């Protein structure tokens, strides 16, 4: 299957700082990328959908000014958590699709805000 890689896997930051998480499709061009948030022992909640070169579409209840998503190329999408607070601590997962109906997931990034 196709490979999606996230970086960093773990990040710890101080409250009030911003953190950027990268999601790369390594061997395919991802027409669309999705960002999810997963709380401990819970399901994945879709945060936003991003298409290359256009603004991301955010799910209801997700603050677009706090969670900035950029999809600069067909192989890279970034999620920036701005002015992070402890309640933003979570596991963030991205996935990419090449338009065939199958999603390929990254390894996830654990964010801890102190």
- Please count the other Cβ atoms lying within 10 Å of the Cβ belonging to residue 59: 14
Taking CB under 8 A as the rule, does residue 27 contact other proteins? Answer: no
Least Å from the CB of residue 2 to other proteins: 11
Q: Binder to other proteins among 12, 29, 72, 102 (CB under 8 A)?
A: 102
In three-state secondary structure terms, 88 is: helix
HSE-up of residue 55 (Cα within 13 Å, Cβ side): 6
Least Å from the CB of residue 32 to other proteins: 6
Q: Binder to other proteins among 12, 46, 72, 114 (CB under 8 A)?
A: 46
Residues 96 and 99: their CA atoms lie apart, in Å, by: 9
Query: What are 3's two structure tokens?
Result: 């490979």
Q: Residue numbers of the site for other proteins (CB under 8 A)?
A: 1, 31-32, 34, 41-44, 46, 49, 91, 93, 95, 97, 99-103, 105-108
């Amino acid at each position: 299957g196709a490979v999606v890689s996230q970086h960093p896997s773990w990040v710890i930051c101080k409250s009030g700082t911003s953190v950027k998480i990268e999601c790369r499709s390594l061997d395919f061009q991802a027409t669309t990328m999705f960002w999810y948030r997963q709380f401990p022992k819970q399901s994945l909640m879709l945060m936003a959908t991003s298409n290359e070169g256009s603004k991301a579409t955010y799910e209801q209840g997700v603050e677009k000014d706090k969670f900035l998503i950029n999809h600069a190329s067909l192989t890279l999408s970034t999620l920036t958590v701005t002015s992070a607070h402890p309640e933003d601590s979570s596991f963030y997962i991205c996935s990419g699709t090449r338009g065939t109906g199958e999603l390929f997931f990254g390894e996830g990034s654990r964010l801890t805000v102190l």
